């Protein structure tokens, strides 16, 4: 039973979208550095896109925290054009 508890603790951070994107970005950079035949520009592009996605997710999370409920957009009380 102890092993399952440790496995859950190790896997819990992977529930976060930021962590998953970060891990994928780092793995792609390491793969390109150690054997995947690709140019330096491609590695920089992959890392840049990963960083942009993480920043976008952080911006989205900040908007949810600011609004309180996380429900914004058409049909909500604060956003949209619905009467």
Domain ranges, ordered by start, for the chain: 16-83
pTM for this predicted structure: 0.62
> Is residue 17 over pLDDT 60?
yes
pLDDT tens digits, residue range 45-64?
888 998 999 999 899 988 88
Report long-range pairs for 18-25 (Cβ below 8 Å, ≥24 apart).
Answer: 18/54, 18/57, 18/58, 21/50, 21/53, 21/54, 21/57, 22/50, 22/54, 24/50, 25/49, 25/50, 25/51
């Amino acid at each position: 039973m102890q092993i399952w508890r440790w496995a859950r603790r190790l896997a819990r951070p992977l529930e976060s979208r930021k962590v998953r994107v970060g891990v994928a970005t780092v793995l792609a950079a390491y793969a390109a550095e150690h054997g995947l035949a690709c140019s330096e520009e491609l590695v920089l592009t992959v890392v840049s896109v990963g960083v942009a996605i993480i920043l976008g997710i952080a911006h989205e999370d900040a908007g949810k925290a600011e609004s309180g409920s996380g429900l914004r957009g058409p049909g909500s009380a604060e956003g949209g054009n619905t009467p």
